[in-house]
Structure 1
Amino acid sequence: MSVTIYHNPACGTSRNTLAMIRASGEEPVVIEYLKTPPSRERLVELLGLLGLKPRELLREKGTPYAELGLGDPKWSDDEILDFMLAHPILIQRPIVVSEKGAVLARPSERVLEVLANPHIGDFVKEDGEVVRTGG
């Protein structure tokens, strides 16, 4: 099974998600989306897989969200996509895609929903929180 993660190594949630994928026995395709942003077509495809509207995938914290006025409902879906493409940091992460579907892994244990082997035992996140998955 192929697993892809849209990853930001500076994000603890993204690092935990990547570690959970690896603990499941998968070695995912890792796309550092700040270095290699998705194309507009791929971003639209990811939104469809996630069942989200562009506004629902916007990240506020640590981004130019406020400076760009993205809290204003005047922006259309296409305009929000334009902002995400111009400023990839606005894309919420991590996004994980597998043959079982796609998930915005926030919290990181949501990744278990799309892994072939979600029973990775007790997983300890970077902050010390334990995720019990069985196995």
Structure 2
Amino acid sequence: MTLTLWHNPRCRKSREAKQLLDDKGVEFEVREYLNEVPTVEELRVVLAKLGFDTARDWMRTKEADYRALSLKDETDETKLLEAMVSHPKLIERPVLISDDKAALGRPPEKVLGIL
């Protein structure tokens, strides 16, 4: 099983999830998604693996970019995903992704659920 952690090293929850995985001896790749921004298609795949109904379920709705882009009333999923690509800070993190599922690390221990 291949595991990838979408990680923001400046985020405490993301650092905690990474440390949990390291402490358990789990082998995983780290993708600093703010520097290696996912595509809309990658977001669609991970969204399905997370089991969320809409991209908004995975967005950081308290971010200034969310308000600045007037996303509160946006209903077009593609436009929400495009906003996440253009402004990756909108992606809630951390996310551990396996071949067939993903887990949002809120709280960080949730990433252990897909092992």
The TM-score with structure 2 as length reference comes to 0.91
**Aligned residue number for residue 61 of structure 2:** 60
Alignment of 1:1-135 (within 5 A): 1-52=1-52, 53-72=54-73, 74-99=74-99, 101-115=101-115
More strand by share: 1
Helix, strand or coil at the partner of 1:71: coil
Q: CA deviation at 1:2?
A: 2.5
Which residue identity is paired with 1:38? P
Q: CA deviation at 1:99?
A: 4.8
CA contact (8 A) 1:63 1:89 kept: no
CA contact (8 A) 2:49 2:100 kept: no
Q: CA deviation at 1:62?
A: 3.9
What is the number of equivalent residue pairs in this alignment?
114
Helix, strand or coil at the partner of 1:47: helix
CA contact (8 A) 1:99 1:114 kept: no
Could you report, residue by residue, the CA deviation over 1:66-97 in whole angstroms, capped at 9, with x for unpaired residues?
1111112x331111011111111111111101
Q: CA deviation at 1:8?
A: 0.3
In structure 1, stretches of 5+ residues that fail to align are 116-135
CA contact (8 A) 1:6 1:94 kept: yes
Summarize the Cα distance change of 1:63–1:10 in structure 2 as closer, same or farther, 3 Å threshold. farther
Q: CA deviation at 1:60?
A: 2.4
How far, CA to CA, are the matches of 2:61 and 2:9 in structure 1? 18
Q: CA deviation at 1:26?
A: 1.4
**Cα-Cα RMSD:** 1.5
How far, CA to CA, are the matches of 1:95 and 1:41 in structure 2? 16
Q: CA deviation at 1:98?
A: 2.4
How far, CA to CA, are the matches of 2:72 and 2:99 in structure 1? 34
In structure 2, stretches of 5+ residues that fail to align are none
Helix, strand or coil at the partner of 2:68: coil
How far, CA to CA, are the matches of 2:100 and 2:36 in structure 1? 24
Q: Name the larger-Rg structure.
A: 1
- Identical-residue share of aligned pairs (%): 39
The TM-score with structure 1 as length reference comes to 0.78
